[in-house]
A and B are shown apart, each in its own frame.
Chain A
Amino acid sequence: MNTLNMTRWFAVGLLYLLLSLGNVAAAAPPIVEVYGTHFGGKVQYHYRVKNNGLYPISSVWIGHDTLNDADYYNDVWELKTDISGMFVNKKYPSPDYFDIPAASVTSPPGWEVRRISLEETEEISINWLMADDYSQPVAPSQTMGGMSVTLDKMDMTYITSHATINFGGRSKKDEITVPLQRLDITPPALTVTLNPSIVRENDKLAPITATITVLDDYDPAPEIKLESIIASEPMENGDVKEVQLGTDDRQFQLKAESKTNAGRAYLVTYSATDGSGNRTTASATVSVQRKDEKHEERRDEKNKKRNKD
Chain B
Amino acid sequence: MLAQGYRHRIPRWWQLLFVIPLLAASLKAQAAVESVAPLATPVYVHSSCVGLYSYGYNVMPPASCQRRSPIDACADGWSSSWGAPLMTPPPSPPWPQLSDFIPPVLIQLVKMTGTVRTAYQCHYNFYTNGGYPYGPVLHANSPLALIYPIATCPTATPAYNFNPNSGMCERPSTCPDHATSSSAASPCICDTGYEWDASHASCVPTCPIKDDLPPITDPDVQTFEDNPNLSDTARLDQTMKTALQKLLDAASAAGGTPTVGSAYRPPAYNQHLIKVWEKWMEFVNSRDPQVRTNPSCVNLKTKTQEHYRRHKLLDTQQPAPNSRHTRGLAVDVTIDLPPATIDALARDCCGLRRPKPIDDPVHFQFP
Contacts and interface: CB of A to CB of B under 8 A. Distances in A.
Interface stretch (B81-89, B248-256, B312-320): B312-320
Interface stretch (A144-152, A169-177, A225-233): A169-177
Interface in B286-303: 286-292
B12 interface: yes
Given A72-B321, A98-B316, A168 B2 contact: no
A115 B358 CA distance: 14
A124 B286 CA distance: 21
Nearest to A132: B287
Contacts of A39: none
Contacts of B356: 117, 120-122
Given A73-B322, A120-B324, A59 B285 contact: yes
Interface string A85-112: 0110000100000100000000000000
A276 interface: no
Contact of A169 (B21, B288, B359): B288
Contact of A118 (B290, B318, B365): B318
For chain B, the bracket of interface size reads 35 or more
A224 to B, nearest CB: 31
Interface in B260-292: 274, 278, 282, 284-292
Nearest to A75: B321
Contacts of A115: 316
A162 to B, nearest CB: 16
A4 interface: yes
Interface of B: 2, 6, 12, 14-15, 17-18, 21-22, 208-210, 274, 278, 282, 284-292, 314-324, 330, 355-356, 358-361, 363, 365
29 contacts: A2-B2, A9-B14, A9-B18, A16-B22, A58-B288, A59-B284, A59-B285, A59-B286, A61-B285, A72-B321, A73-B322, A116-B315, A116-B318, A117-B316, A117-B359, A119-B317, A119-B319, A120-B324, A120-B356, A121-B356, A124-B359, A130-B287, A133-B291, A168-B285, A168-B288, A169-B208, A169-B289, A170-B288, A171-B208
Given A116-B317, A120-B323, 12 more contacts: A5-B6, A16-B18, A59-B285, A72-B274, A87-B359, A117-B360, A118-B318, A121-B355, A133-B292, A135-B287, A168-B291, A171-B209
Interface string A56-100: 101101000000000011010000000000110000100000100
Chain B CB count within 10 A is highest, among A58, A87, A120, A122, for A120
Nearest to A164: B285
Contacts of B323: 119-120
A71 B291 CA distance: 24
Contacts of A117: 316-318, 356, 359-360
Interface of B: prevailing SS: mixed
A87 B358 contact: yes
Nearest to B205: A169
Contacts of A4: 2
Contacts, number: 113
B5 to A, nearest CB: 10
A129 B288 CA distance: 12
A166 B283 CA distance: 11
A168 B355 contact: no
B180 to A, nearest CB: 15
Interface centre among B286, B288, B361, by most chain A C-beta atoms within 10 angstroms, is B286
A98 B360 CA distance: 10
Given A13-B17, A16-B21, A118-B320, A166 B6 contact: no
Interface core residue of B14, B316, B322 (most chain A CB under 10 Å): B316
Contacts of B284: 59, 129
Contacts of B319: 119
A2 B314 CA distance: 68
A114 B321 CA distance: 21
A175 B282 CA distance: 10
Closest 10 CB pairs of A and B: A169-B288, A168-B288, A130-B287, A59-B285, A13-B18, A166-B285, A119-B320, A98-B316, A73-B321, A171-B208
B285 A118 contact: no
B12 A1 contact: yes
A171 B278 CA distance: 12
Contacts of B22: 16
A171 B286 CA distance: 9
A62 to B, nearest CB: 13
B288 A120 contact: no
Contacts of B15: 9
Nearest to A70: B278
A246 B365 CA distance: 37
A124 B50 CA distance: 73
A184 B315 CA distance: 32
A86 B282 CA distance: 26
A72 B363 contact: no
Contacts of B322: 73
Nearest to A8: B6
A172 B358 CA distance: 31
B279 to A, nearest CB: 9
A137 interface: yes
Nearest to B330: A120
Contacts of A13: 17-18
A120 B287 contact: no
Contacts of A98: 314, 316
Interface string A1-24: 110110001001100100010000
